[in-house]
Amino acid sequence: MATDEKHTKRQKRINWMDNLRTFIIFLVVLYHVGGVYEAAGLWGWFWIVDDPDTIAWVGILGIMIDTFIMATMFLISGYLSPASMENKSGWEFLKGKFKRLMIPWMVAVLTLIPLYKVIFLYSRGLPQEHWSTYFHITNPNSQNWLWFLPLLFCFDLVYLLLKKANIKFPNISLRTAVLVAFVIGLVYSFGIGFLVDFRSWTLTPLIDFENERLLVYFMAFLIGALCYRQNVFAQKPKSQVLYIVACSVAWIPVTLHIFARLFPILYPDGFEITPLYRLIWYSSFLLSTFSMTYLMVESFWRYFDRTGRLWRELSKNSYGVYIIHVVVIGVFGTLLLNTNLPAVLKYLLLVLLTYAGSNLLVLTYRSVRDSLKMRSSKSLSPAKGA
């Protein structure tokens, strides 16, 4: 993965990228809160809380968000990985990623997954079960929302191996890379979907992933790495033509994908998953993914490349918010379950309570951790005059 391109020294923090990551985490919260109130009944059998009061448009919003949130997260991660390799050995890089991704994952699957099932049963008025069934190894939903962490660690590991093997990819432009990724992604998704099952998942105690999207997400990761190596974000583009065109037409593949997702629900009688339907599904999904991810990146790069106290705090909290937010949804969603509030108001309250509550919990944890570190450093430092 060697390249001749040189880029300027990366600043300590990339404000717009921090802000984009913070916003994407908020959208993840929005997406998962929607699972409590979606009307199609697709989430109710496994989601942490299933409110009988539903909202039709929440599911549509969720479909739109689902097209780009994970691709954007993998692209950001891919951009940051080469920088974190600089001045480090492969072992040091791997240890750092293991500490950041896998240790929090281990703690989460041993604590939050059991809490998930406790809330799941309690919110439905069901009796609690034997303690051995509360862990992700015995849970039919496996890791649930935590799947992102070990998969990202695997992407980092593969990228490191490719770099150590000195595998050189063709020196192509970013636009060419995106076009190639789209074609490969479409062939891959269609082929895997045809071979195994439509929208199939691989669930294991260590790693979970949606089979048809695995390579798509890895290519998003590689495109992020390519952006770093080519120093794509060094200067903002003067022309807005591509950005304006994307803003104007992105709704077309998104709308097509929404209809593809809703058609079997709206017209279940005689519906059959044909090759044409699969092609429409995957092509509309990929077009939505690439266009919406581009719009997210370009919008924050152009208009949100600034920071402030609130942005900084939310950015510092975002990783922790991602890890704990589903359990927080469960707590507040259960409290709102039997209220007489309209479904829309409950939905808005749950979004606000989850995001604010998760940030407050993470902020409290960070404060306690920093305080303990400070006390520990003081106790280990030599006394004056010693």
- pLDDT per position as a tens digit, 171-217: 889 999 999 999 999 999 999 988 887 778 988 889 999 999 999 99
Cα distance between residue 134 and residue 122, in whole Å = 13
Segment 149-170 mean pLDDT: 89
Q: Which H or E run contains 203?
A: strand 201-203
Between helix 69-85 and helix 90-97 the angle, nearest 10°, is 140
Nearest-CA neighbor of 58 among 316, 351, 339, 373?
351
Strand partners, 55: 38
Please indicate whether residue 257 or residue 195 has the higher confidence score (pLDDT): 257
Cα distance between residue 74 and residue 153, in whole Å = 11
Q: What is the pLDDT of residues 52-95, one digit of tens each?
A: 999 999 999 999 999 999 999 999 999 999 988 888 888 999 99
Q: What is the pLDDT of residues 318-348, one digit of tens each?
A: 999 999 999 999 999 999 998 999 999 999 9
Segment 11-38 mean pLDDT: 93
pTM above threshold 0.85: yes
Q: How confident is the model at residue 378 (pLDDT cuts 50, 70, 90)?
A: confident
Please indicate whether residue 64 or residue 165 has the higher confidence score (pLDDT): 64
Cα distance between residue 54 and residue 51, in whole Å = 7
Cβ neighbours for 196, distance < 8 A, ≥ 6 positions apart = 211
Q: 359: burial class by Cβ within 10 Å (0-12, 13-18, 19+)?
A: buried
Q: How confident is the model at residue 386 (pLDDT cuts 50, 70, 90)?
A: very low
Q: Which H or E run contains 209?
A: strand 208-210
Q: How many CB atoms lie within 10 A of CB 54?
A: 17
